[in-house]
């Protein structure tokens, strides 16, 4: 049963109970996989498929025929739902696209910034025992908006050596260019270093298990990565007007993800806290993933009773949740007091699953309190920027002594000389 806590008696550890796990065994296993893939390429990938996925593959790449069959298998209705969701995601992310700039000064300086898309990115989509077409759309569409030329997708095959039809259909809608039947640390290594079949990419995005997360950490620097995603989190701030039945349902929408997921309710109403606890007990047995939700709620869930919404906002910022629902009468006013959250859901009708699938903002969000300093996946994740500088001789002459003096203050005489030597002939 979920814990109900009073904010007057709560400790910091009870508010934020994220633990740093010992990952040394995972790190060793991932190091071995990465080195193996880097050394022998495709052979290691087939080897890993047999060992970890229990499947013997003839080819790593997904064929056009498999994609066509997947589109038929999901049916026209679901394919159209994917298209609608994709359009909403596009409409949101196109507003994030930025242009470069250039400006000139009277002395002839020209300064500016170029904004260029990455050439090739890798998209990791969880699979095997589960199917997450939403992850395909959320990762691929911002890359498309940014102008990435080639999107490579990897996702683990099921026991029959096939990719879930829903994932392939989503990849078709999102414009993914190549798809490979690969999962785990081996897929990350293949994207980072390239193999005989899998091309090396510039950046890897997308969530995965602890082995995927560790592999992304290990290859960072060879390639860029989006973030290290942890277990899913939801925090709900509610006043007395919110329905206990709906609050419990929203908490369970994240608890069913993972036994390590966290669902927290902060409420100003003690009676409501008890009612939500009762609703959780009633609703959990109704779920397909009841065992997972039960463990998540019992181990990680909590309800915190506070004096007012100002205190609720303060606690929320300490937690810095991935998902934040404001189930209150005036959510826009309360949002003004919130600083740290990955995505904010305003009002009684805006359930978190809207963000997971359909509304448009990205569902790849900072977890584990990292919303204090990081942001959701966006078009910015798929671009790079270069600055440029142009000086005329006269413009350089006007600042040469300043630059040379600055360089000398750091003891870098070669820096100073590279400026001053441009005027030696003029002075002789």
> Taking the domain 60-225, which CATH number applies?
3.40.50.1980
Evaluate if residue 21 carries a pLDDT over 70.
Answer: no
pLDDT band with cut points at 50, 70 and 90 for residue 20: low
Instruction: Please name every residue paired with 220 in a beta bridge, in sequence order, or none if there are none.
Output: 223
Evaluate if residue 313 carries a pLDDT over 70.
Answer: yes
CA 247/CA 398 separation, integer angstroms: 66
Q: What number is the average pLDDT over the span 44-63?
A: 94
pLDDT at 389: 97
Instruction: Evaluate whether the domain defined by 230-373 bears CATH number 3.40.50.300.
Output: no
Measuring CA to CA, how many Å separate 23 from each of 29, 30, 31, 131, 184? 10, 10, 12, 26, 16
Same fold: 60-225 with 230-373: yes
What's the distance, CA 108 to chain centroid? Answer: 43
pLDDT band with cut points at 50, 70 and 90 for residue 128: low
pLDDT at 63: 95
Per the CB < 8 A criterion, the answer to whether 111 and 102 are in contact is yes
Per the CB < 8 A criterion, the answer to whether 403 and 391 are in contact is no
Largest Cα separation within the chain, whole Å, is: 92
Domain map (residue ranges) of the chain: 60-225, 230-373, 392-427
Tell me the helix, strand and coil percentages in the chain, rounded to 5. 50, 15, 35
Mean pLDDT, all residues of the chain: 94
pLDDT tens column, 332-387? 999 999 999 999 999 999 999 999 999 999 999 999 999 999 999 999 999 999 99
Query: Phi first, then psi: what are they for 155, rounded to 5°?
Result: -155, 140
- Among the residue ranges 8-17, 195-204, 377-386, the one predicted with the least confidence is 8-17
Burial of 27: CB neighbours in 10 Å, binned 0-12, 13-18, 19+: middle
Evaluate if residue 12 carries a pLDDT over 90.
Answer: no
pLDDT at 371: 95
Which residues form the catalytic set?
Answer: 322-323
CA 24/CA 235 separation, integer angstroms: 31
Closest CA to 211 of 37, 400, 3, 397: 37
pLDDT at 17: 66
Closest CA to 199 of 179, 220, 175: 179
User: Hunting for tokens 């181990």 — which residue is that?
Assistant: 299
What is the percent of the chain where pLDDT is above 70?
A: 97
Q: What number is the average pLDDT over the span 276-288?
A: 97
Evaluate if residue 428 carries a pLDDT over 70.
Answer: no
pLDDT at 427: 66
């Amino acid at each position: 049963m979920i814990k109900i806590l009073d904010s007057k008696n709560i400790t910091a550890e009870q508010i934020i109970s994220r633990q740093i796990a010992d990952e040394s065994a995972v790190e060793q296993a991932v190091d071995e996989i990465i080195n193996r893939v880097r050394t022998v390429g495709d052979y290691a990938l087939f080897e890993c498929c047999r060992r970890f996925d229990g499947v013997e593959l003839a080819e790593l790449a997904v064929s056009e025929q498999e994609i066509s069959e997947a589109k038929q298998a999901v049916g026209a209705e679901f394919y159209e739902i994917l298209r609608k969701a994709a359009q909403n995601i596009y409409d949101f992310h196109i507003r994030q696209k930025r242009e470069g700039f250039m400006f000139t000064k009277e002395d002839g300086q020209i300064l500016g910034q170029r904004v260029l898309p990455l050439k090739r990115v890798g998209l990791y989509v969880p699979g095997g025992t589960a199917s997450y077409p939403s992850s395909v759309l959320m990762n691929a569409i911002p890359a498309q908006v940014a102008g990435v030329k080639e999107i490579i997708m990897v996702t683990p095959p099921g026991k029959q050596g096939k990719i879930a039809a829903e994932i392939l259909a989503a990849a078709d809608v999102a414009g993914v260019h190549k798809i490979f039947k690969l999962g785990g640390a081996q897929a990350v290594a293949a994207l980072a270093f390239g193999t005989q079949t899998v091309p090396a990419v510039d950046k890897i995005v997308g969530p995965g298990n602890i082995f995927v997360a560790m592999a992304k950490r290990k290859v960072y620097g060879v390639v860029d990565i989006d973030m290290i995603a942890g277990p899913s989190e939801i925090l709900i701030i509610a006043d007395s007007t919110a329905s206990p039945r709906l609050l419990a349902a929203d908490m369970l929408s994240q608890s069913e993800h993972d036994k390590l997921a966290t669902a927290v309710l902060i409420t100003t109403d003690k009676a409501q806290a008890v009612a939500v606890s009762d609703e959780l007990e009633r609703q959990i047995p109704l779920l397909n993933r009841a065992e997972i939700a039960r463990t998540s709620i019992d181990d990680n869930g909590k309800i915190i009773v506070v004096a007012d919404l100002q205190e609720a906002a303060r606690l929320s910022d300490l937690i810095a949740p991935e998902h934040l629902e404001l189930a209150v009468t005036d959510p826009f006013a309360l949002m003004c007091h919130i600083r740290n959250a990955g995505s904010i859901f305003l009002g009684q009708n805006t359930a978190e699953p809207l963000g997971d699938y359909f509304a448009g903002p990205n569902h790849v969000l900072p977890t584990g309190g990292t919303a204090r300093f990081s942001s959701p996946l966006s078009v910015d994740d798929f671009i790079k920027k270069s600055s440029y500088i142009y000086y005329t001789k006269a413009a350089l002459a006007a600042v040469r002594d300043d630059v040379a003096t600055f360089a000398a203050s750091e003891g870098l005489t070669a820096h100073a000389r590279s400026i001053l030597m441009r005027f030696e002939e003029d002075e002789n």
